[in-house]
Structure 1
Amino acid sequence: MTTPYETTKDQLLDAALDHVPFDGWSEATFQAAIVDAEVTPALARAVCPRGAVDLAVAYHLRGDDVMEARLKSEDLSDLRFRDRIASGVRFRIEAVTDKEAVRRGTTLFALPMHAGDGAKAIWGTADKIWTALGDTSDDVNWYTKRATLSGVYSATVLYWLGDDSVDNQATWEFLDRRIDDVMQIEKVKAQVRDSPTLSKLLAGPNWLLSRIKAPTKMPDIDLPGRWTTPRQD
Structure 2
Amino acid sequence: MADNDDLTLEELRVALAPEVALAAMFDGWSDAALASAAEAQGIDPDVSRLAFPAKGLSGRAMDMIDAWVSSIDEKMEAEFADGRLDNMPIRERIRSLVWFRLQAIEGLEESLARAVAIQAQPQNAPIALKQGWSSADKMWRLAGDTATDYNHYTKRAILASIYAATLAVWKSDESEDKAETAAFLDRRIEGVMKFEKAKAKWLGGDREHFDVARFLGRLRYPQS
TM-score, with length taken from structure 1 = 0.73
- 1:19 and 2:23 equivalent? yes
Q: Which residue of 2 aligns with 1:64?
A: 73
- 2:216 aligned partner: none
Aligned residue pairs, count: 194
> Is there any run of 5+ residues in structure 1 with no aligned partner, and where?
196-233
Give the TM-score normalised by the residue count of structure 2: 0.76
**Which residue of structure 2 lines up, in the alignment, with residue 120 of structure 1?**
130
User: Which 5+ residue runs of structure 2 have no aligned equivalent?
Assistant: 55-59, 206-224
Runs of 4+ in 1 over 4 A off after TM superposition: 31-38
- Could you say which structure has the larger radius of gyration? 1
Structure 1 residue 186 and structure 2 residue 196: aligned?
A: yes
- Cα root mean square deviation, aligned: 2.4
Residue correspondence of structure 1 range 29-68 to structure 2 within 5 A: 29-33=33-37, 37-41=42-46, 43-50=47-54, 51-68=60-77
Which of 148, 152, 157 is the matching residue for 1:147?
Answer: 157
- Stretch moving more, 8-17 or 152-161: 8-17
Partner of 1:221: none
User: Identity over the aligned pairs, expressed in percent?
Assistant: 36
Find the aligned partners of 1:14 and 1:39 in 2 and give their Cα distance.
17
- Which amino acid is 1:140 matched to? Y
Query: 1:95 deviation in Å?
Result: 1.5
In the alignment, is the contact (CA less than 8 A) between 2:136 and 2:159 conserved in 1?
Answer: yes
Is the 1:84–1:133 Cα contact (8 Å) retained in structure 2?
yes
CA drift at 1:7: 4.4
| Displacement of 1:114 | 1.4
Equivalent residue runs for 1:1-233 within 5 Å: 3-10=7-14, 12-33=16-37, 37-41=42-46, 43-50=47-54, 51-73=60-82, 75-96=84-105, 98-194=108-204
- 1:46, CA displacement in angstroms? 3.1
- Structure 1 residue 166: deviation in Å? 1.2
Out of 59-68 and 90-99, give the one that drifted further: 90-99
Cα distance in 1 for partners of 2:144, 2:100 equals 17
Q: Is the 8 A contact 1:16 1:29 kept in 2?
A: yes
